[in-house]
Structure 1
Amino acid sequence: MSVTQSSPSEVSLWKKAILPWIVCFSASLFFAYELLQLHVMNALSPMLIRDLGLNATQFGTLSSTYLLADVIFLLPAGILLDRFSVRKVILTALFLCVIGTLGFSRAHSFGFACVCHFFSGIGNAFCFLSCMMLISRWFPKEKQAFIVGLMITMGMLGGVVAQVPFSLLAQKFDWRQALFIDGLIGVAIFALIFSFVKDAPKGFLRAEEESAELPFWEGVKRSVLNIQNICCGLYTCFLNMPLMIISAVWGTLFLTQVHEIPLTNASFIVSMICMGTIVGSPIYGWVSDKIGKRRLPMLFGGLTSLIVMFAIILIPHPSEKMLTALFFALGFFTSSQVIGYPTITESNPKELTGTSMGIAALIIMGIAGVIQPLSGKLLDYSWSGAMQNGAPLYALKDFMTAFMIFPIGFVIALIALARIKEPQKASASLKT
């Protein structure tokens, strides 16, 4: 009886061409799952506000607990990923997220819901950083912007599922059953990551061990003092704001209350932000890698995002088709923020990849964590006191007041971009 053995060329093809994609694809499912937890708040907003008896400030606070956990754990996440097994860190973080999601499905009070959503946010602190770590280890620099774009595309699928599909699921059953099913999906993703994710190619292991020798505070200090990390964090934060605020929190409420669009249609329109990001992220990454420039496509994205946001706020009585196109365009143009991540990895030594990404992500999520409840405060501040079916009814002027944070944020992003230098490593790798 003969035993067929794989040839060395087949083994080499598996390790060099196929395995990196399987590893990073599996890890990106964690990213997609975390974005599902973030964006599901938008789809469930009318139900949660009604069943838990919340106003806009309380709902904004509930949503922001996810980002609060993110902010608290981001820097520790980067440090842990630099020093410990990426696979083990991912599995631990995903476990906490699943626990939070299942707990949320049984919440009957504002306080308990906040605690559970906080646990889900802990996982979010690790998901994107861990994906970036794996990409930086499994793929060459000249491909990283494109791969990051594809990974964000995968992640945005979670945001899309959180809109119309999840809204329909919650309407067919109820929001508690929908979140319970959400938790079971997390268990399945845990099994996939356990089976397929590996820390790094064998040749990288020695470099990983050497990186652990860098003193803790020295690594933090070097990452904080690198102005590239700060400015990339600011740019990415404000270009990411429509995803964090409109798509994740207020989009459905804005469309149903101001434009009187049915809930399912409103969820579909809001999902266009994620769809635009799905299309735009790999395109921006590919263009940036192709031309060997980071700043130029980032400038284009910032300027066009500003124009589209003004159109959404100021165009009177837009049709559903126009809103669908505008929300897609907003997601597409703001996806230029994807280029900020490879810019950070190219501007720091390998041993500080996780810590530097943690510093930048601290800015990205920290500011978003402040703006989410701030947007709710602005809504309540402008609110006339009108009620509908036992819940606050907000007018166009209320949302215009709250949504002015977006054009202001885009201007800040462009100012930060002016301080970002073109990474030399990016250009060098692209020329080879």
Structure 2
Amino acid sequence: MQRLLTRFSQATPYLVTITAALFFAFELMQLHMMNAIAPMVMKDLNLNAANFGLLNSSYLLADVIFLIPAGMILDRYSTRKVIIIAMLLCILGTFSLAMAPTFALACLARFVSGIGNAFCFLSLVMLISTWFEPKKHAFMIGLVITIGMFGGFVAQAPFSALAEMLSWRNALIVDGFIGIAILALVIALVYDKEAKKKELLPSAQTFFHEFKTCLVNRQNITCGLYTSFMNMPLMIIGAVYGSLFLTQVHGLNLPQASFVISMICVGTIIGSPIFGWLGDNVWNKKGLMAVASFGSIILFSMIMMLSSQTLLSLMTLFLFLGVFTSGQVLGYPLITESAPKKLVGTSMGISAVIIMGLPMFLGPLAGKIMDRLSSINPQTGATVFHHESFYTAFLIFPIGFFIALLLTFVVREKKRFTLLKKA
């Protein structure tokens, strides 16, 4: 009996973290589903590419506004309670988007969902930092990203098929009820390792001192930039413009395009725990981050340069792009290990503003470039995006990967694990 209790006690951190990671999966569904239903939403709400980019960016805008407050709240209050409230906001935003009759109300609904998302990944990092010792942080972060990516995968081809069968609005209603089911599991199984002392709201002087301490920490900025540039294919191609690119340039139908885009998520599912385990056990994180960014440059260049590709070749390229860009998982433990223990949430919040803020600006910018280089089909009146539209707009990705590669030379790492040391 005692042995059974011991085993259950050892499994508790994993049970808590994996259950909470379902919230992350639900949030990634909300982010990536817009790519799967892009043509339907654009037609129903009469949107061009730039407006559709703004609709998606309203979600990211809420992230950017609330990420730093989210970090400071998580430093002071129960992570469990924060997750529950954040999930309620996400579910409310999902149901509201399903019923939104106008572009403005759709943006408001996405904004509400984005508020909940601001607390999502930070909450998971806080749970990992309290339930697990530092040497397991990279692997556990990789594991929760893997679980989250299942949500991103479901939001592509499966969600596209559901939307075509039920309509995109009814598909969102189903999505909202999935969120309610996950919320019930979170309430039942997620709790804090230790109760946090109730604190009064910090004085203005304390607030600015803590904020400045985290802001001047170069690690928070460099790791935030690296992670953001490596994460952009998921945030912009996977969530917004990927289906348009594949349907209009490569002639795929919408279910095929959604399935190809979902390969980024599958690649991330495969790559995140691998990079996390390697970073913790075998090789130094900086070297792995450099390999990941260099490989991403090569793969994305192949995607854009090889104009005549089969469905299988596109699936393969997007799969390996997901594997290599998942090297961004290594940025998070480098942030937490350099932060004071009581300011882990605030440090992650500052980095997350960068991670989410860049896609918020670059997504609409890509849309404006695409609109400027597009044409109108004289017979149907539909907007046609040519290869050069995407080629020009998507230059931000290889440029971002190259900047990420340069950043690996200035990132600091406290400990390096090598094969020689393991031996």
> CA contact under 8 A between 1:36 and 1:158: conserved in structure 2?
yes
Q: CA deviation at 1:144?
A: 1.1
Q: CA deviation at 1:10?
A: 2.9
- Aligned equivalents of 1:350 and 1:392: distance in 2? 52
Partner of 2:26: 33
Gapped regions of structure 1 (runs ≥ 5): 1-6
Residues 30-71 of structure 1, C-alpha deviations (whole Å, 9 max, x = no match): 101000000000000010111110000100000111100000
- Aligned equivalents of 1:352 and 1:101: distance in 2? 31
Partner of 2:141: 148
- Aligned equivalents of 2:354 and 2:31: distance in 1? 18
Partner of 1:4: none
Secondary structure in 2 aligned to 1:91? helix
Q: CA deviation at 1:212?
A: 9.1
Query: Residue type matched to 2:208 in 1?
Result: W
Q: CA 1:19/1:310 → structure 2, altered by over 3 Å: closer, same or farther?
A: same
Q: CA 1:167/1:113 → structure 2, altered by over 3 Å: closer, same or farther?
A: same
Partner of 1:242: 233
Q: CA 1:391/1:112 → structure 2, altered by over 3 Å: closer, same or farther?
A: farther
Matches within 5 A, 1:79-158: 79-158=72-151
Q: Which moved more, 1:153-162 or 1:388-397?
A: 388-397
- Aligned equivalents of 1:45 and 1:387: distance in 2? 22
Query: Residue type matched to 2:393 in 1?
Result: A
Q: CA deviation at 1:130?
A: 0.2
Secondary structure in 2 aligned to 1:261? coil
* Aligned alpha-carbon RMSD (Å): 2.0
> CA contact under 8 A between 2:229 and 2:400: conserved in structure 1?
yes
What is the TM-score with the length of structure 2 in the denominator? 0.95
Gapped regions of structure 2 (runs ≥ 5): none
> CA contact under 8 A between 1:74 and 1:358: conserved in structure 2?
yes
Determine if the alignment matches structure 1 residue 337 to structure 2 residue 328. Answer: yes
Partner of 1:59: 52
Q: 1:355 aligns with which of 329, 346, 349?
A: 346
> CA contact under 8 A between 2:74 and 2:82: conserved in structure 1?
yes
Q: CA deviation at 1:422?
A: 1.5
Q: CA 1:350/1:113 → structure 2, altered by over 3 Å: closer, same or farther?
A: same
Determine if the alignment matches structure 1 residue 168 to structure 2 residue 161. Answer: yes
Residues 146-180 of structure 1, C-alpha deviations (whole Å, 9 max, x = no match): 11111000000010000011001001110000001
> CA contact under 8 A between 1:273 and 1:330: conserved in structure 2?
yes
Q: CA deviation at 1:76?
A: 0.5
Query: Residue type matched to 1:194 in 2?
Result: I
Query: Residue type matched to 2:37 in 1?
Result: L
Matches within 5 A, 1:17-416: 17-200=10-193, 202=194, 205=195, 215-386=206-377, 389-416=380-407
Q: CA 1:426/1:90 → structure 2, altered by over 3 Å: closer, same or farther?
A: farther
Q: CA 1:158/1:389 → structure 2, altered by over 3 Å: closer, same or farther?
A: farther
Partner of 2:8: 14
Query: Residue type matched to 2:89 in 1?
Result: L
Query: Residue type matched to 1:320 in 2?
Result: L
Secondary structure in 2 aligned to 1:318? coil
- Aligned equivalents of 2:129 and 2:73: distance in 1? 16
- Aligned equivalents of 1:54 and 1:69: distance in 2? 21
Q: CA 1:279/1:234 → structure 2, altered by over 3 Å: closer, same or farther?
A: same
What is the TM-score with the length of structure 1 in the denominator? 0.93
Query: Residue type matched to 1:160 in 2?
Result: F
Query: Residue type matched to 2:222 in 1?
Result: C
Secondary structure in 1 aligned to 2:376? coil
Q: CA 1:252/1:154 → structure 2, altered by over 3 Å: closer, same or farther?
A: same
Q: CA deviation at 1:265?
A: 0.9
Secondary structure in 1 aligned to 2:385? coil
Residues 176-210 of structure 1, C-alpha deviations (whole Å, 9 max, x = no match): 0000110111111111101111112x4xx47x679
- Aligned equivalents of 1:294 and 1:386: distance in 2? 49
> CA contact under 8 A between 2:283 and 2:416: conserved in structure 1?
no
- Aligned equivalents of 2:201 and 2:102: distance in 1? 44
Q: CA 1:331/1:260 → structure 2, altered by over 3 Å: closer, same or farther?
A: same
Secondary structure in 2 aligned to 1:105? helix
- Aligned equivalents of 1:181 and 1:391: distance in 2? 30
Query: Residue type matched to 1:348 in 2?
Result: A
- Aligned equivalents of 2:357 and 2:47: distance in 1? 24
- Aligned equivalents of 2:386 and 2:123: distance in 1? 41
Q: CA deviation at 1:378?
A: 1.0
